[in-house]
Chains A and B, each alone.
Chain A
Amino acid sequence: MRNAKHPPKIFFICAAISVLFVFFAPTASAETTVYDGLLEKSGAAELYTALDTDTQQLMSQLGVNSVDDTAEADSIFAVLSSLIREKAAQPLKALAALTAIIILCRLAQCFGGSSVSDTIAFASVAACSVIMVSPLLTLINRTVRCVEAASVFILAAVPVYSALIIAGGSTTAATSYGFLSLAAGSAIPVISSSLVLPMLRILLLLAPLSSFSSLKLSKLSGSLYGLVKWLLVLSVTVFSGVLSVQTLLNSQVDAAGNKAIKLIASSAVPIVGGAFGDAVAAIQSSVQIVKSGAGAFGMLAALCVFAPTAAEAALWSLVCRAAQLAAALFDHTSITAFLEACTTATKTILAVISSVCAVSLVVSAMVLLVKSQA
């Protein structure tokens, strides 16, 4: 009887929640609609299609199938470990074969005496070349494809990022950012085809030649590697420095301009002037969310473009180093010289991958750094 007269408290709580849900649900839905609309109109939703098929597959393994998807840390580590496991089989077999050749060659030199040792050394270097050159050649081709894929992504993403920065109220910053990033995106394939590929080709050619020839060609390959590394580090540092300083300074200029416009609007337009400023701030907050999502997606995409090739290059570099150590332990000078040149080639490939990956990351990270100014 008491329950019939006085409904329980839970009823009131449920009713209050229902009322709140009825009032706020359309607001949340409207926010989602605004976000989706901004994502669609800015072109950020199309960024996923600008990636190559391999990168798209890797990103779908991470659970990212569009710009607004997020990747979990666990899935990133799981995908990375499976990638390394998948890529490690061939280098490990090559390491076993190289070690076997080094041991057999040493045995032949011990048993066969000095008369045939030169011939055996020649044959063993040829065998090591056959084992190493083919995968390194494939690695160079993959590196070039990665660099081209990164360039395509930068060229597709920069206009979208610039538009988002402009929508966020930073017009000057967007202009300088767009110019510098597009210049980098256009320069990367040119530098790749005119400087990096010929340099890698020379380094790979020097590898077998350094062991067959009596000339000290390993010094030449070492010097070439030093030059390439120095040039790459300088270009990446200059690009990152100029882009970040220019973008941040210009965003401050935009902030000052936007504040002045807001002040004029608030004081010149009576009553609705302040509301106008608040409305602009609300829109810019939505743009900021889209911009952050697109920037984070760009960074993840840059990592996914380079991760498989970087893992492969690192594994081959380790194999070259380990085999070089084995050859040095067995006092096999010609194989040591060959493997040293191979190590230099793999280190150069790693340096190229790291540099272009750093440029791609900086281009995407800059979008996150520029704040919406109202």
Chain B
Amino acid sequence: MGIFQIFGCAVCAAAVAVLLRRTNKELALLLSIAACAVIFTSVMSQFSSVITQISSAVANSSASEILATVLKAVGIAIVGQLAANACKDAGENAIAYTVQLAAKASVLAVSLPLLTQVFKYIEEIMKL
């Protein structure tokens, strides 16, 4: 999907969602979530070439594992933010906050091996 198709799809989905919200709020919410999912999938398919390019630059080195971890963290952050925004649209601010909290915790959990490695290095420096 091209960038102008994405813009068009987003505007149409937003307009239909506004019209639907007057009569059926649940359907409007489902429509906006579906539009988000479609746009996100198409953007990610375009973004995958950038990720491939970056991964090939650091291939066959220890940095590739680190980069994979960072990519996971970035993915969790973006999806978490999308989910939190959807919850906010539905008027569920408490759930949105919990989703954000879960995203933060997941990012920290994913980056835990990196932190462990940093602590190991600090210990090694202290031993010198």
Interface residues in chain A, defined as those with a beta carbon under 8 Å from any beta carbon in chain B: 90, 93-94, 96-97, 100-101, 103-105, 107-108, 111-113, 115-116, 119-120, 122-124, 126-127, 129-131, 133-134, 137, 140-141, 197, 201, 204-205, 208
Contacts and interface: CB of A to CB of B under 8 A. Distances in A.
Nearest to B76: A116
Given A116-B100, A123-B73, A129-B117, 19 more contacts: A90-B61, A96-B54, A96-B58, A97-B61, A101-B70, A103-B54, A104-B54, A115-B84, A115-B104, A116-B77, A120-B73, A122-B111, A123-B107, A123-B108, A129-B118, A129-B121, A137-B124, A137-B125, A205-B126
B77 A108 contact: yes
Nearest to A90: B61
Contacts of B100: 115-116
Contact of B71 (A104, A119, A122, A129): A104
Interface of B: 54, 57-58, 61, 63-64, 66-67, 69-71, 73-74, 77-78, 80-81, 84, 100, 103-104, 107-108, 110-111, 114-115, 117-118, 121-122, 124-126, 128
User: Which 10 pairs of residues, A with B, have the shortest CB-CB distance?
Assistant: A97-B63, A123-B111, A112-B77, A126-B114, A96-B57, A108-B74, A100-B54, A116-B77, A133-B121, A112-B81
A201 B122 contact: no
Nearest to A205: B125
A127 B66 contact: yes
Residue among B61, B121, B122 facing the most chain A CB atoms (10 A cut-off): B121
Given A108-B78, A197-B128, A131 B107 contact: no
A96 B70 CA distance: 14
Residues of A contacting B: mostly: helix
Contacts of A127: 66-67, 69-70, 111, 114
Nearest to A134: B121
A97 B118 CA distance: 17
A120 B69 CA distance: 11
Given A116-B81, A129-B118, A205-B125, A123 B70 contact: yes
Contacts of A93: 57-58, 61, 63
A201 B125 contact: yes
Contact of A204 (B54, B110, B125): B125
Contacts of B78: 108, 111-112
Q: Which secondary structure dominates chain B's binding surface?
A: helix
A97 B104 CA distance: 23
Contacts of B108: 119, 122-123
A130 B69 CA distance: 12
A93 B54 CA distance: 11
B77 A119 contact: yes
Contacts of A123: 69-70, 73, 107-108, 110-111, 114
A140 B57 contact: no
Contacts of B71: 104
Given A93-B63, A112-B77, A130 B118 contact: yes
A108 B78 CA distance: 6
A20 B126 CA distance: 72
Contacts of B126: 201, 205
Contacts of B63: 93-94, 96-97, 131
Contact of B118 (A104, A107, A133): A133
Contacts of B121: 129-130, 133-134, 137, 208
B87 to A, nearest CB: 12
A119 B103 CA distance: 9
Contacts of B66: 97, 101, 127, 130-131
Interface centre among A97, A103, A137, A201 (most CB of B within 10 A): A97
A274 B121 CA distance: 72
A94 B74 CA distance: 20
Contacts of A133: 118, 121, 125
A302 to B, nearest CB: 25
B66 to A, nearest CB: 5
Contacts of B107: 116, 119-120, 123
A116 B78 CA distance: 9
A365 B37 CA distance: 73
Contacts of A111: 77-78, 81
7 contacts: A93-B63, A97-B57, A126-B111, A126-B115, A129-B114, A133-B125, A137-B125
